[in-house]
Chains A and B, each alone.
Chain A
Amino acid sequence: MNIIVPVKLVPDLVEELSIDSSGVALDTAWLRMIVNEFDDHAIEQAIILKEKTGAHVTIISVNVEGIDDLLFTASAKGADRLIKLTGDVESGVNNHALARGLAAFIKELKPDLILTGVQAHNDLDGSLGPQLAEYLGMPYIGYISGVKADGEKVNVRKEYPGGLIGEMQASLPVLLGIQASEQPPRYVAISKVRQMMKTVSIEEVDLSALDSKGAPVVNRMFQPEATERATMLSENADEAAIQLINIFKELGTL
């Protein structure tokens, strides 16, 4: 089975986010970029399928700072082919433009299965998966937390609210938006990643002349103003513990 996994880096939300001087974008100077966690699960699911049924796994991402680490890590986990997209796409791209650019290129790779994160937290024009599927003429199912290969078909677990699962079947080729892999993304030793850096090469594909039609234009970005903010207790653990105990007593919890 030929599996393609398009992945993205996103700002690390643990860091403080600020808006740049244009007022319509995040200030990238201090941003720490990390792999979109759903994409990390998509990589894991692809590797699990490779281990269970045999597959060739290709990871594709945009060339931004930190991408080589991500790709070599995927390789250390078991990915077979690494591709980074260069050119206009590097200066930041919305999902409509990325989906169109990727579709033209991925068509040539003749995938049986495409796995990608179901969403990214900074998506503003929908998620990548369903758009890419449409440009490739494939069906799409998202919010997937388990994939079993079955010949020319896959059986998947689609999540609904309240813990309900819809077990669905799709004929290949299909594009799946991954919410969670069957097992949590595996850990790989940094030594193994370093070894990949020496032995594996990353292919580069130029993705220029992008078409962003369909994505919105942002007038302004801002940080939400809290209408009601918590009463803040002490930041000192000893004092906060005493305050919390008193609150629990007041609430009748203790």
Chain B
Amino acid sequence: MNQDIFVAIEHLRGKVSEISYIMLAAAHALAKETGGQVAAIVFGQNAQSITSDFNADKVMYVDHPLLKDFNPEAYQKSMVGIIDEYKPRAVIFGHTTVGMDIVGGISAHLGLPLVSSVRTIEAGSKLISQICGGKIMAECDLPEGTALITLVPGGYKPEQGQAPQSPPLTSITPQQLGDLRISLNQYLEPESGDIDITKEPLLIAVGRGIQTQDNISLAEELAQAMGGEVCASRPVVDQGWLPTSRLVGKSGATVKPKVYLAIGISGAPEHAEAITGSDVIIAINTDPAAPIFNLAKYGTTADLFELIPLLTEQVRNIKG
């Protein structure tokens, strides 16, 4: 085994995912502890050029037609082969729809330790994970052997994972992928026809605290009075109360409004990561321990069912 830190780079349709740069930044923090180098592991087809701004000591690139798009089976087999051959000190995956699909299988296949939801790496190779919707942190030592880590955003800036000069690239021979049981048929583009919430300067966001579909109208009335648009966190969209085009979060839109008014939203990491670019976040939540108050500039624990109608009324009075 060596002391190098590998990073499982993610890219989607020609674009490097932001988590990849955050992982590179975290990998440097860990490599400083272990004394190894940072290697970016990239799978793709003719995708060498995406590595040009990576802050890494080296790139290990695997080119194969079946690795052009993410296929959990093909990616897992390829990563198993690389880890087994090079035996790095740790491999960092995104805690994402890509990384989380393969890291568990790799852990089970190779019998390697796995620590998930890691946010920061601290002195002494301590891994700090963020669990329970951001309400609890857990500290673990970097496990012995090749440790598998999944990283959530928030602990490192993407810019720390970027560098002005291209790292040296080595091509790695692809694994035998054999017959795959999973295939990608096609991509389906996001729903359109509705408004684009990523371009709205004022967003009134509702979460689980809104309780029922009927109560969505409270937020809609406020949005209409103020000239904003309504959006939502995952539970509201999963209930079918608002369309997917209004979803803010990990699998929805990342928004950067001037004002983000979060109503009944706890601020779980999956939602939080998509709103940190907002100029001002204002949170209304009866739970004083809700993580949203750590992101918001202003907050109140007043009951939304009393507060929102009052706000709507006063806004209407002002606007006439």
Contact = CB atoms under 8 A, between A and B. Distances in A.
Interface in A11-48: 11, 13-14, 16-17, 19, 26, 37, 41
Contact of B299 (A119, A215, A231): A231
A216 B296 contact: no
Contacts of A26: 132, 136
A235 B311 contact: no
Contacts of A184: 238-240
Interface stretch (B36-44, B52-60, B166-174, B244-252): B244-252
Contacts of B136: 17, 19, 26, 122, 221-224
Interface stretch (A54-62, A65-73, A151-159): A151-159
Contacts of A127: 100, 104, 116
Interface string A182-221: 0110000000000000000000000000000111111111
A151 to B, nearest CB: 14
Nearest to A142: B101
Contact of A254 (B189, B244, B303, B318): B318
Interface in B203-246: 226, 228, 235, 238-240, 244-245
B259 A166 contact: no
Interface in A144-182: 155, 157-171, 174, 177, 179-180
Nearest to B134: A224
Contacts of B126: 219
Contacts of A121: 131-133, 268
Contacts of B73: 139
Given A165-B188, A216-B113, A142 B293 contact: no
B165 interface: no
A180 B116 CA distance: 21
A135 interface: yes
Contacts of A217: 140-141
A244 B109 CA distance: 54
Nearest to B240: A184
Contacts of B71: 168
B163 interface: no
B195 interface: no
Contacts of A126: 100, 103-104, 107, 114, 116, 148, 150
Interface in B285-306: 287, 289, 291, 293-303, 306
A91 interface: no
Interface stretch (B24-32, B82-90, B179-187): B179-187
Interface in B137-164: 137-141, 143, 148, 150
A233 B298 contact: yes
B228 to A, nearest CB: 8
A241 interface: yes
A180 B190 CA distance: 16
A4 interface: no
A130 B108 contact: yes
B235 A224 contact: no
B294 A125 contact: no
A214 B114 contact: yes
A231 B126 CA distance: 32
Contacts of A119: 100
Tell me the dominant secondary structure on chain A's binding face: mixed
Nearest to B257: A253
Contacts of A247: 282, 298
B105 A133 contact: yes
A164 B202 contact: no
Contact of A163 (B183, B247, B300): B247
B212 to A, nearest CB: 12
Contacts of B109: 134
A148 to B, nearest CB: 11
A244 B299 contact: no
Given A140-B72, A163-B251, A230-B298, A248 B226 contact: yes
A131 B307 contact: no
B100 A241 contact: no
A36 B76 CA distance: 26
A94 B139 CA distance: 16
B3 to A, nearest CB: 19
A245 B318 CA distance: 9
Given A168-B71, A232-B293, 16 more contacts: A121-B133, A123-B131, A124-B115, A124-B117, A127-B100, A130-B101, A134-B109, A140-B105, A163-B191, A163-B253, A167-B188, A222-B139, A226-B294, A232-B301, A241-B311, A247-B282
Interface of A: 11, 13-14, 16-17, 19, 26, 37, 41, 95-96, 99, 118-119, 121-131, 133-135, 139-143, 155, 157-171, 174, 177, 179-180, 183-184, 213-224, 226-238, 240-245, 247-248, 251-254
5 contacts: A13-B132, A19-B136, A139-B73, A163-B247, A217-B140
Cβ-closest 6 pairs across A and B = A130-B104, A163-B190, A230-B299, A134-B108, A237-B306, A230-B296
